[in-house]
Structure formats: C-alpha cells, structure tokens
Amino acid sequence: MKYALITGASGGIGSATARAFAQAGYGVALHGHRHREKLHALAQELSDLSVPVLEVYADLSDPTQAKAMVESVLEAFPQLDILVCCSGLSHVGLVSDIDQESWRKLFGVNVDGMHFCCQAVLPHMIHRKQGCILTVSSMWGQVGASCEVAYSATKGAVLAYTKALAQEVGPSNIRVNCIAPGVIATEMNAHLSQEDLDALAQETPLCRMGTPEECASCALFLASDGASFVTGQVLAPNGGLIV
C-alpha cells in the first residue's frame, strides 16, 4: 500500500484529490487548518473505504507546525509516498490596494506553506530514494490576471519552485510535478458573479468550467507508475483556455 498526504484537504480540489487517492487504495493523511468540521466529515467518509485515514491540523505558514505535521504522519504511516500541496488562498483586488498583511498571508500559505511541507518530507523521501511531490498552481500563475496580481505572483512562484525542485531531487528518484487548473467549480470562485462564470465558460474551448474531480484525476495520474518518467512538468486542466 502507498500513502499520501494531501494538504488543504477540506477544500474543493483537496477533498476531491483525497477521495481519488483513497478510492485508488492509498492510505491518506488529510490536512486542514480552519475547517475542522469539513475535514472530519471527509475523514469519516473515506474511512468507509477500508483504507488508513489520518486527520492532521496545522498552520502551514509556520515551519514548526508544518514539520510537526509531517512527523505525525510518519509516526502513523509506515512511509509517505506522495505529497500533494493543495492548500491555497485567493485574493482579488487592485495591487495598489493590497496591504502588507494580506500580501504576506497570501505568500505564507501559497508559497511558504508549500515549501515547508516539501522541506519536511524530503529527508524521508531522499532516504528511501523514492517519492512524488505534486504542487497546485493556477493558469494565472502561467499568464497572470488583472486584479489578481498577488495571487498570480504566488502561483507563478509555485511553478518555478516545482521546476527547480524537480532538477534538485531527480537524482534521488523523486518526481516533482505541478497541476495548474483553469476555471474550476469550487468555493474559490464564489466571488465571481454567474455572469462572469458564464463568460469564462464561453471563452473556454470546451465551453464549460472544470470540476475538482478532473483536477484530482490529474493528480492521481502524476502520482501513478504511468507517469514514472514525468518530472518538472505542468499539467493544466483548463479546458483549453490557456495553451
């Protein structure tokens, strides 16, 4: 049996990813921070699949908490094969209006939290000479978005981090890849009006929004043996909106 840690597992893409891995027979560690009720309900749901399920809670922007979380997972599971970094915050607004606290919070979760988790799992994976790390960026990390400069900057950093880390740990047989979703039907897009959502769907060549499950399928593939020669790559479930 393989074991995966999914951060941000109470969110739309995170919870769908956790379900996909559990249904595929992985033991899953579910990370959350603020939404404990959602995470607990997900853990109970996945326990019915007869796979090991662990709930862990941490503020990933704090390196001490991130490290302690990974240590607790490794105490409960015999090994950790997959890390999927789904935790993330969004921010919409003019770059001239964002305050320092909001800017740092966004980078703290989207970039620092991802880094602290990778840093915590790598000694274990390097020792075993195997492992897979998946990060989650966004199409806005690829091309940028007006009124989402800060968010785009964090997601661009995720892309660069992924590519560089893949180069660094490849000799240890650790693969690092990134998923860069387009417009996905999750709470993160709740700030958009139905008119805006319809317009984005019309601009998308497949003429619809994506689903969290479609992003989860990408993660499951990248973690599989079928992607054993894939590293440093960006898989973009965006319906063709960004090519």
Q: Would you name the residues annotated as active-site residues?
A: 151
Euclidean distance between CA atoms 148 and 140, whole angstroms? 8
Q: What is the dihedral of CA 102, 144, 206, 216, to 10 degrees?
A: -50
CA–CA distance, 90 with 75 (Å, rounded to integer): 32
User: Residue for token digits 């390097």?
Assistant: 126
In 48-113, where does DSSP find H-type helix? 63-76, 100-107
Residue type, 72: S
* Residues in the chain, total: 243
Side-chain half-sphere of 55: how many Cα atoms within 13 Å? 17
